[in-house]
Amino acid sequence: MSKVRVHCFTISADGYGAGPDQSLENPLGVGGEKLHTWLVSTRSWQSVHGQSAGSTGVDDDFVKRAEVNIGANIIGRNMFTPSRGPWPNDDWIGWWGPNPPYHTPVFVLTHHQRSPLKMEGGTEFIFLSDIHRALAEAKAAAGGKDIRIIGGVSTVRQYLQARLIDELHFAISPVLLGSGEHLLYGIDLPSLGYDVAEHVATRDATHIVLH
């Protein structure tokens, strides 16, 4: 049976998964890129981006786990584009260029309709407005494999509050953002049935896995 998983979702020490004021210049909000030092230094991340260097060990192991048995992905519109409201045009194809790193169907949550966008390498962006419909279509597209909720914060929060996530891995980065998008504010994880299944600290992050 397929699972719904979140992997490598990084938050600051004060709980923010993105900084304020997302823009073309600051895709993760102001200061948001500081969260991901642990991630971008790993060999697995470097390999995906055409580099041969990078660290191994615990951080790298968590990055590897994120890629196992994934058949479809779900993201929020803010992860796809900095624009808001009706689509200004159809020229924007995402932050990743013509060959995004997903290589699966990717369901993009948005209130504004747009035609599917087929990319190189097997990635196809499909635009839907409802989290339940997106999950149902992702499961159908995944062919028995797992569905990964990539982000951003609002998308993960919606699926958490609906108790639709089976496994959540987040990494706490030792930085403070002070403002932005808070991952867990107002969410009672124990009442939703979640518990800590794993926890391990490295120099650059504390990894927490919830089931």
32-54: pLDDT as tens digits: 999 999 999 999 999 987 788 89
Q: Do 78 and 63 sit in the same domain of this protein?
A: no
Q: Which domain holds residue 78?
A: 70-84+99-171
Residues 38, 63 within the same domain: yes
CA distance readout (Å), 9 to 63, 106, 131, 153: 10, 17, 19, 9
In a domain, 49, yes or no: yes
Q: Which of 20-24, 132-136, 148-152, 174-178 has the lowest mean pLDDT?
A: 20-24
Query: 50 with 79, same domain?
Result: no
Assess if residue 138 is contained within a domain.
yes
> Are 39 and 108 contained in the same domain?
no
Establish if 182 belongs to a structural domain: no
- pLDDT value at position 49? 78
Is the per-residue pLDDT at 124 higher than 80? Answer: yes
Cα–chain center distance at 173? 16
Report the alpha-carbon distance of residue 98 to residue 75 in Å, rounded.
Answer: 18
Is residue 54 located within the same domain as residue 139?
A: no
Q: Residue 51 is which amino acid?
A: Q
In sequence order, the β-bridge partners of residue 109 are 76, 128
Residue 47 and residue 74 in one domain:
no
Give kind and range of the element (H or E) at residue 157: helix 153-161
Q: Are 41 and 10 in contact (CB under 8 A)?
A: no
Is 81:110 a contact under the CB 8 Å cutoff?
no
Asked if residue 183 belongs to a domain, the reply is no
Kindly state the average pLDDT of the residues 99-128: 97
As a whole number, mean pLDDT of residues 41-69 equals: 93
Distances (CA, A) of 208 to 15, 36, 73, 172, 195: 13, 15, 21, 8, 10
- Does residue 7 fall inside a structural domain? no
Verify that 80 and 135 share a domain, yes or no.
yes
Least confident of 17-31, 146-160, 188-202: 17-31
For 78-106, write each residue's pLDDT tens digit.
Answer: 999 998 899 988 789 999 999 999 999 99
CA separation for the pair 74, 176 (Å, rounded): 27
Residue 114 lies in a domain: yes
β 167-173/206-210 pair status: antiparallel
Q: How many domains does the chain have?
A: 2
In 13-113, alpha helices (H)? 37-40, 43-48, 58-65, 77-80
- With 0-12 CB in 10 A as exposed, 13-18 as middle and 19+ as buried, what is 40? middle
pLDDT tops 80 at residue 4:
yes
Same-domain pairing of 64 and 75: no
